[in-house]
A = this chain, B = another copy of it.
């Protein structure tokens, strides 16, 4: 096991009607806030009204920033920073999924920063200060509700980049599985794939003697794999929604990567695809992960075998490690495909130019090789990308 430092101060309110704690909790930090959200979905499913009524009941002054979209834009962050400064907001509340929370986080850090928000992503400087951040989560996917990262896209530059800092942990997050009842089937599927790939990024490492990390990853993977088909049939199954939602938080709150060297190559590559083609994050991961796995599995066949046996219950008898490893990759790809079919997601019709392949691979590796399970250079990434489309 490798040395590590682990801390996660975010307070989680999980379960039915936990939004009733919103006003009281905000009052511990602020009386004036910026309220960040996406579009009409939270107005249709009643979450917006519940949030506003909490803010009014606790006499919390709020200013609104709607309009967050998937692969959230730095341009909207700039607008949010202006509003915060104009009204002296003391906290940024995101009501939505990962894109909304990432936008809220970036605004919170940018308000305390003397410069253009995008510089936080391009200049490698520590982020030491941010307004307090809070979240009401409406999707199960990114884990942003309980971690220290934010991913933002600069559409003009076709770049999608990440920041991370201790000050980006939300002070608290509210997770009510009932709120996810109205997620679209496609959101449920791409959110689920995002959760699965988050876990896989941390599961595929070359450290040994890590039974706790392995068991936790395998538990979460099986939970998501077993429950996704259930919620696709019945979106209002509370226990299935609850298990997926809690898995999504645990998948990326830092606990799985304690003591191991995680990979993250699939995310690095998927991010470049989303930055150019604006496709859902989960969709890019579903494309890249199987190609990544096929490209790297011989590096540590035993690890892929363990995955196939412990997560997918594949039988070991009469097969060599390599065969079982391949079966595990194949069954994962099939599972992603089945989920997409179940949710009636149309196959992507991307026209990918070869120069784009090279551009994406170049950007993905601009700070050196990516991945830890196997180090990948530009040529490796180009091969994986070609096999992903």
Binding site for B on A (CB under 8 A): 1-16, 18, 172, 208-209, 211-212, 214-216, 218-220, 222-223, 226, 239-240, 242-243, 246-247, 250, 255, 258-259
Contacts and interface: CB of A to CB of B under 8 A. Distances in A.
A255 B255 contact: yes
Contacts of A212: 219-220, 223, 243, 246-247, 250
Contacts of A240: 209
7 contacts: A1-B243, A14-B258, A14-B259, A208-B239, A209-B242, A212-B247, A214-B219
Contact of A3 (B8, B9, B15): B15
Contacts of A246: 1, 212, 258-259
| Oligomeric state, in copies | 2
Give the 8 A-B residue pairs with the shortest CB-CB distance, closest first.
A215-B219, A3-B15, A7-B11, A209-B239, A9-B9, A6-B12, A1-B242, A211-B223
A12 B5 contact: yes
A216 B212 CA distance: 8
Nearest to A245: B1
Contacts of A208: 239
A11 B9 CA distance: 9
A276 to B, nearest CB: 36
Nearest to A1: B242
